[in-house]
Structure 1
């Protein structure tokens, strides 16, 4: 088996099912050194094309077992994996895991120390818990769209990063690790639930506090979100710069480098919303006069909170990101490096995604199933071995 490193080394997590945030949570845990066994549906093997394996970032660093959970023998095999795990995570809609037979009660009855993490959009409980939904629905209900939308303009739908990934998956990973830490002293596991709605609400703590302060002061002021000095501007080449000159020091430097010090539209109470359209118009016209990279040169030593808006490809090549190793090569594709960083137990570079079922034989044998049991599961189609024949080693990390 391939050596693993990182602060979670020695922990085993079974990823029971789910896409999007559940898979991202599994990636986070695997990145930090946990052994994560991902249960894939046998029919999903076709999805794991060469391109998927090379660029399937959220599925990296795992072992994969393809099990048909619609059949009792498949559920029994999955539960055998849970028996020896420290944690299990799933991202099914409410009630699905219980209906399949891999819900928290079924798993923790066999393994009381198990931490069972689950993630949903609306949460388990509440009048909307059974509704379908996607990122924009969850984030909108949590109040997360309005603060990033300009007055009178449609809210821009999030791109799957704010709620699913940036909030819920990250909070679930934190919750699972926290419960594992508690289980060391108590000897008991527990169920950890993260919903997108709950998590987005938690991430809005600063915005909620600012809104409450404005209401208490009874003044129509803003902290700078969506202000003209906290916006993006198109440049002469069609690319953009980001401006976040919220504090007075940075705002003064911004005006100085733009040659706008003392401009009547930009001096005075810049937090007065009534003045924002005029301020934005002036800044818009000025930034259109030069290309993005020219502006970057202008502000290179200004410390005025002005930076380029980069494409993903540009971000990978940027000098700062390259110097810090923000991106790493994983199986021939450039991907984000594991984060956060650790001084004593740094994680290794993750291994690429493996074909669905690539580790079926080894993982099931490691869980205590006999060669005859595994052979019967493979023969019946309950378990499927991937293109490597099911004998692939653990995903490199």
Structure 2
């Protein structure tokens, strides 16, 4: 796999950093999640392919142990607020002195500098400060945050993974590591570059929810079908719009012009009535194989059985029977080979990992007795 041989220390967190670590693991990196002791169960639902070491970071011995693991690795991924790792003596300046090739990725909401650097926040706050939230939502309604995908996962975990891969690539030329300052505010804003840069061509001149791609246009929206399901319509270009009208059995000559903004409410009313006349399955049969850009809105329970997704094996089932998306993109020679075993329990691999990092059995036993580390191999069999 593409990242085979890369050692990653991921300090346990929620959402963005675990996603970043899962991406690296899916593509071959050896990702070790460092959990705290006496935690019970992990809330990391993205532990696929990772191993867990439980360390008591409230003890000097635990901090020393983590330092040894970090400086013997290629990447450190930490999700804490600014200053937490420095208080432990494990900031990037300290660790890079011991291992100049180390890549130290810091994934936070607001970044390592600025007046908000130490402030708490969540996805909704980050996209608010990025400017994107002001553009999200229907006309006449308040801004609407679409799940926590934009900042946490696109601007956060995915952007951080890209930064790590870029730093690994650069290291092959310079032989040096570096620090990655991954801000979810900036990552979200960067993901939204199209919205920013296309303002100059008039794509976002109208208020929120009244533009072509933000639910303003009737030919770029979702419509309820007779059975209470939905179809997604994205018929922007004239040739696609023609196919949409053909499938709906509507006469273009009897309708307002496609790009007449003032007529969009009336056109939407007509589309609503049309789509409500048939079931989702009926509309799918009508539009499949056409270039109308009309597709069914599939639920999580339906996606893996859709013919297209089946043919590409786009979804997979793990050992516990849970379904999830296959890693993307697909590489022709070194594709991802995601682990299908159960996610690790806290401390499941403590002894194995410490052995791999060169610790002697007697020293490991002493750390276990002293509560510096914790090992829970039996929980993996439950």
TM-score by length of 2: 0.92
CA distance in 2, matches of 1:297, 1:389: 48
Could you tell me which of 184, 187, 195 is aligned with 2:172?
Answer: 184
In the TM superposition, 1:363-378 aligns within 5 A as 363-378=353-368
Once the two structures are superposed, what CA deviation does each residue of 1:253-306 show, in whole Å capped at 9, x if it has no partner? 101111112264x432x3343222222111112111111111111111222100
Q: Across the two proteins, how many residue pairs are aligned to each other?
A: 376
Corresponding residue to 2:141 among 153, 165, 169 = 153
Match of 2:248 in 1: 258
What pairs up with 1:262-281 in 2 under 5 angstroms?
Answer: 262=252, 264=254, 266-268=255-257, 270-281=258-269
Q: Deviations over 1:351-390 (max 9, x none)?
A: 4311111110111122122222211211111210013389
Q: C-alpha offsets along residues 170-229 of structure 1, whole Å, 9 cap, x if unaligned?
A: 11101001111111221110001211111111111111122122299x899944442111
Q: Does 1:340 align with 2:329?
A: yes
Quickly say closer, same or farther: Cα 1:112–1:242, change in 2 above 3 A. same
Flag the 1:368–1:259 CA change in 2: closer, same or farther, 3 A.
same
Structure with bigger RCO (C-alpha 8 Å, 6+ apart): 1
Whether the aligned pair in 2 keeps the contact of 1:135 and 1:158 (CA below 8 Å) is: no
Gaps of 5+ in 1: 1-5, 393-397
Whether 2:30 is the aligned partner of 1:42: answer no
Q: Cα gap change, 1:251/1:124 in structure 2, threshold over 3 Å: closer, same or farther?
A: same
8 Å contact 1:70–1:100 — kept in the other structure? no
Counterpart Cα distance in 1 of 2:370 and 2:14: 26
| Structure 1 residue matching 2:252: 3-state secondary structure | coil
The answer to whether the 8 A contact 1:57-1:335 is kept is no
Pick aligned residue for 1:247 from 219, 224, 237: 237
Q: How does 1:1-397 map to 2 (within 5 A)?
A: 6-44=1-39, 46-48=40-42, 57-214=45-202, 222-226=211-215, 227-262=217-252, 264=254, 266-268=255-257, 270-332=258-320, 333-351=322-340, 352-388=342-378
Counterpart position of 1:3? none
- Please list every run of 5 or more consecutive structure 2 residues that lacks an aligned counterpart in the other structure: none
Over the aligned positions, Cα root-mean-square deviation in angstroms equals 2.2
Distance 2:79 2:285 in 1: 46
Query: For the residues of structure 1 that align with 2:267 and 2:38, how far apart are their CA atoms?
Result: 56
The 1-side partners of 2:206 and 2:111 are apart by 35
Hey, what's the Cα distance between the residues in 2 that align with 1:343 and 1:334? Answer: 24
SS at match of 2:301: helix
Q: Say if 1:360 and 1:384, in contact at 8 Å, map to a contact too.
A: yes
Q: Does the Cα contact within 8 Å between 2:138 and 2:214 map onto a contact in 1?
A: no
Q: C-alpha distance in 1, partners of 2:374/2:206?
A: 64
User: Which TM-score applies when normalising by structure 1?
Assistant: 0.89
Contact kept? 2:136, 2:145, Cα under 8 Å:
no
